[in-house]
Each structure stands twice: as structure tokens, then as C-alpha cells.
Amino acid sequence: MPKGLVLPLGSILLNTAARTGSVPGRPVEAFLPSRSLASEASSPRKVPGDNMNSRVVLITGAKGGLGTFVTQRFLATGATVVGTSRSISKEDFPENNFVAKAVDFTKGAAVREVVEEVVARFGRLDVLVHVLGGFAGGTSVTNTDDATWEQMRDLNLTSAFYVLRAAIPHLRKSGNGRIIVIGSLTAIEPHAGLGAYVTFKSALATLVQTVALENKDSGLTANVILPGTMDTPANRKAMPDADFSKWLQPGAVADLALWLAEERAAQVTGALLPIDSNHV
């Protein structure tokens, strides 16, 4: 895949189908919103998982508005899932293949420690799904204060740097390691009033593309999913007057993350994958 290529989700799936004769995993429609937020969260589907039951998966931001869906998708495959967040417990996901680790991903030493704990316990690390991030906006660049700038830097870029630096040596050993990072559609469509947020989401995309180039020799892939506005509780609270039916369902993003982790996506690396609601 050419350096810096940005492809819409449909192109990735259909191009792969042309090479293999079938759409990988699930048809394009499986990635489109189809269920309510409540049913998605409470009833994760059983999925084939492409032999994921032998894999060890580390998910950051595992119990947030999107992280819950991502965690449940991977748990449903039988993979060993280590879910991390600033506050998380085993009770959040009672499945036998789930392990909870509370960690502050803005602290480099803490991040390295949790990665080493995972590898020491399970002997390997195969997949990293970095969901963690944060949002602040509504002011111009000239009115952005230091605290907001630093918060957006730490949550959206520094945390990713810390976990990538700690995890990559172990992911390389997997032989078919996967890095899936959740970014934002604003990384390629900047908006006024979101200067700090967009700056670090854009930098995040560049960081992951660099990782993809540096690790192609090991079979490790690294890709960024760029969601539009998602139908999460936080977004509903922040924009109560919006038309929620036009927002992207988190389950669609989780499905794409799972597909990128599977062996059938081995040829996709360094890609920025926009995904948004099909409602206009």
C-alpha cells in the first residue's frame, strides 16, 4: 500500500474481495449501523475471529463509549483480552477470557509496566487496540489555554507513543502482530475551533503510519481507523439536540477493528480508514 494512502472503508473491503473472490469476514453491510446502542452493548455477537482464540489482545480505553464495543467484539472470538483504563475491574467484563488492568496511559513508566506484566503472564502479545483518547474544543487557537493543549497532547498522542514504544518489541515477535489505533475523521477534515484536538489526532495518524513503515519486515501491521461522530452516551450528552440517527454506531467501528486484527487483513498496513454513518 503506497505511503500515506487514505482509503474509505468500502474501498478496502471491495479491493480485497476482488483479489480473493469474497469480501473478508463479513459483507460491507455488516459494518453499517443496524442495531440500537443498547442492544449492541448488551448482546455482542459471536464471530468467527479468524483463529483469534489463540491470540493475546491488549485494549486501551477498554470500557469507554467505544471501548466497550471493541472489548466485547474481541472477547466474543475467544481471544485473551487484557482491558485497560484509568479505572476498570473484572466486573466490567465478567467473561473468563478477560483480564482488567487499571493504568494511567499518560505515565510512560506505568504503561511499560503493564505491557511487561501482560507478556510475563501470557508469554506473548499479538494485538494492540489503542482506543484511548479525549476531546476538547470550542475555542480558537488564539484562545486555547496551556492546560487544554497539554491535555489533548497527552490523551491523543503521548499515550499512544508510550504504549506503542512498549508494545512493539513484543508485537514483532508474534510474527503477525496487529496495531489498530482509533483516531478521528477530523485528522483529515480539520474544523475551526478544534485546533488542539485536530493537531494531535493528525499527529497520531502520522505516528502510526511511521510505525507501519518501520515494522513491515516483521509481519506487523499498523492502521488507523478514523470514525465520524459516534452514537455514544458522552456525545449524546454533549449534543442533546442532534439527530442521533445520523451518527455512526460504535459497533461498526468495533467490527472494523476486529477485521484489521484478523489474518485476512495481513496486507493492509499504514492505512487511514475513514468510517462514518451512511445517513445524510
pLDDT at site 11? 35
Residue matched to cell numbers 481471544: 79
Mean of the per-residue pLDDT values of the chain: 84
Predicted confidence band of residue 280 (pLDDT cuts 50, 70, 90):
low
The whole-number pLDDT of residue 168 equals 98
How many residues in total does the chain contain? 280
> Given the C-alpha cell 512498549, which residue does it identify?
166
CA distance 10 to 99: 34
Residues 231, 188 contacting (CB under 8 angstroms): no
Reported as a pLDDT band with limits 50, 70 and 90, residue 28 is: very low
Model confidence at 261, pLDDT cuts 50, 70, 90, reads very high
Lowest mean pLDDT among 105-109, 134-138, 209-213, 265-269: 134-138
What average pLDDT does range 175-185 have in this prediction? 96
pLDDT at 16 > cutoff 70? no
Q: What percent of the chain has pLDDT over 70?
A: 81
Residue 243 has what pLDDT? 80
What's the distance, Cα to Cα, between the start and end of the chain in Å? 30
Q: Which residue has the higher pLDDT, 47 or 1?
A: 47
Nearest to 85 by CA among 116, 111, 55: 111
pLDDT recorded at residue 187: 86
